[in-house]
Structure 1
Amino acid sequence: MAEITTGSPQRALLRSDFALHLRAQRGVSEHTVRAYLGDLEHLLDHAVRHGLVRLDEIDLALLRGWLASMAADDLSRATLARRSAAARTFFTWAVRVGRVPTDPTLRLGTARASSVLPAVLAPEPVARLLDAARERADDGDPVHLRDWAAVELLYATGARVGELCGADVDDLDRAELTLRVVGKGDKERVVPFGRPAARAVDAWLTQGRPALAHDTSGPALLLGRRGGRVDQRQLRAVVHELAALVGVDDIAPHALRHTAATHLLEGGSDLRSVQEILGHASLSTTQRYTHVSAERLRSAFQLAHPRA
């Protein structure tokens, strides 16, 4: 059985084989691969600290103690849920490939992530943020034209920031006003956007992108100042800057995704359509946004109804 002591070649091989499984067979994102590998290292370090040497010595009691120790350290419920999921995924794979004879996670309780959603902006602050991006793009700076196109697309499509960063020019259908993106698990979907976003995209493609692109830029839809594909950190910084500029609560790009979903539902869209737009595997994930809308309705009722 594999030795799990720190620095052992067998532990390193275990890690690399598990990473290969995650990439090749489960098709998860690189972000998830890094997170799961970090969770595995954390578990193995915990096992070694408790005197274990081999992988097959890890049992249900140790796993429960591992999760309990993290709960005592006040780790978020989301982190606990992910580490629990990482352990299950790892041992399911380890049993299948013969690394351990039995799966100790079969009776492991499921840690559930918090269902609290990030802040959702009302339509008026969103309009101010998008107007600020448009006005800033009037200075002719190609990066500001990119920023305008980026925030318009994030709000219009509800795409994840990583999905937008990974989009290529050919993924746009400017006639149909749609954008093809690749989401979690390498699942492809086509999302619509409106004419305000189309105007920003057209300005970027005709004025901004040609000023930044060079021979090695490739097909990337959005470029950085040096002509390479824009990365997520750059777009996060853009959203933070614009939020500060117009005086709205500091938000991350993902909040624009949540805002788009909430506004779609409040505008009368059905859950299935919003599920398709967001690329949620489960309808229950999309249903969280109905809770936000219900809270707003309840708040409005309590403020306005004489017998609330």
Structure 2
Amino acid sequence: MELERAVEAYVRHVALERGLSDHTVAAYTRDLAGYVTWLGDRGIHDSAAITPALVADFAAERAAADPPPAATSLARLQSSVRGLHRFLVRDGIDLDDPSARLRPPKTPKRLPKALSIAQVEQLLDAAGPTPGTEDASAGDPAAVRDRALLELLYATGARVSEIVQLDVDDTAYGDVLRVRGKGGKERVVPVGSYARAAVDAYLTRVRPALAAKGRATPRLFLGIRGAPLSRQSAWLVLQAAAEHAGLTAHVSPHTLRHSFATHLLQGGADVRVVQELLGHASVATTQIYTHVSVDALRDVYAVSHPRAR
């Protein structure tokens, strides 16, 4: 198959059949566009003409680029190439997979950075007033929304993409929240009293006025013009709160997800429960958070045990 058509077919497959996020699909598209260009420069325009040697040369050349790519970027690039060729073989377009022997680079296992409980409280207080207080009654409507957004991120450990895709109906289950994760998989996550109160305050005091400014939408979080809040806007809300709180470390929506998992494990939660709450397909993905808890245990041991030093 002509390479451009092969890539288009594969991108449709990962977007529609596998249900990957727009962000991931865009990354695959960029990676494969570079692959097609590299092959075209060598006179290769048909997928059947690609050999294992060409795939190996492409991977080696990308790895040797100056400046060198991050290991995670190189791993994703190779994953895109392997996915394309597996797709073409599976659909009977090509007989052989020239990427079968391609081995992904080893990526360093970095411990996720989590905020302390005190830092999370600083961040939430900086986002907006605590529901039920006098400040909340007279507060800026956007601040009420921002507090609800960040409370929900930390209370559920959900990805920011999952939070901005929530509908109002997803909150109608009392103390649990219905979350749609990767691949359209749904999970139910408990919501604590603080987040529940913040969301209720937003739904009662703020969302009706925001909704009146835009077209009818079921989305829970809205922007100042009434349109659904975007992932980028949610990121800016968090950055503004972190700056206001004086948190100098880099804080991202994923930082709250890391903090959620770490604090649960430090509080005694089972790793498989945390796996379910985070929506991880494999417990191996969740295991990285146990290292953080082990570090905390070492610190306590070093301070507390009479013969630790």
Scaled by the length of structure 1, the TM-score of the pair is: 0.91
1:292 matched to which residue of 2? 292
2:46 matched to which residue of 1? 54
Structure 1: distance between partners of 2:39 and 2:302: 53
Aligned with residue 20 of structure 2, among 7, 28, 33: 28
CA contact (8 A) 2:177 2:189 kept: yes
1:190 matched to which residue of 2? 188
CA contact (8 A) 1:118 1:258 kept: yes
Deviations 1:189-222 (A, max 9, x none): 1111100101110110000101211261311100
Shift in CA distance, 69/303, structure 1 to aligned 2, threshold 3 Å: farther
Deviations 1:24-63 (A, max 9, x none): 3222222221111111111111222333232222222222
Deviations 1:72-116 (A, max 9, x none): 232111111211211121111111223322101211112344321
CA contact (8 A) 1:171 1:179 kept: yes
Aligned alpha-carbon RMSD (Å): 1.8
> Secondary structure at 1:236's aligned position in 2?
helix
1:8 matched to which residue of 2? none
2:162 counterpart of 1:142: no
Shift in CA distance, 185/99, structure 1 to aligned 2, threshold 3 Å: same
1:70 deviation in Å? 2.4
CA contact (8 A) 2:211 2:222 kept: yes
Structure 2: distance between partners of 1:263 and 1:36: 34
CA contact (8 A) 1:217 1:229 kept: no
Q: Superposition pairs for residues 71-220 of structure 1, below 5 Å? A: 71-73=63-65, 74-135=68-129, 138=136, 139-173=138-172, 175=174, 177-214=175-212, 216-220=215-219
CA contact (8 A) 2:112 2:289 kept: no
Gaps of 5+ in 1: 5-10
- What code does the residue aligned with 1:237 have? L
Structure 1: distance between partners of 2:241 and 2:165: 22
1:225 deviation in Å? 0.6
2:260 matched to which residue of 1? 260
1:269 matched to which residue of 2? 269
- What code does the residue aligned with 1:51 have? G
CA contact (8 A) 2:6 2:47 kept: no
Scaled by the length of structure 2, the TM-score of the pair is: 0.91
> Secondary structure at 1:159's aligned position in 2?
coil
> Secondary structure at 2:128's aligned position in 1?
helix
Structure 2: distance between partners of 1:307 and 1:258: 29
Deviations 1:205-253 (A, max 9, x none): 0001012112613111000010011001111111111111111123011
Q: When the two structures are aligned, how many residues end up with a matched partner?
A: 299
Q: Superposition pairs for residues 237-252 of structure 1, below 5 Å? A: 237-248=236-247, 249-252=249-252
1:21 deviation in Å? 1.2
CA contact (8 A) 1:141 1:208 kept: no
After alignment, is 141-150 or 209-218 more displaced?
209-218
1:307 matched to which residue of 2? 308
CA contact (8 A) 1:244 1:250 kept: no
Stretches (4+) displaced over 6 A: none
After alignment, is 239-248 or 148-157 more displaced?
239-248
CA contact (8 A) 1:52 1:58 kept: yes
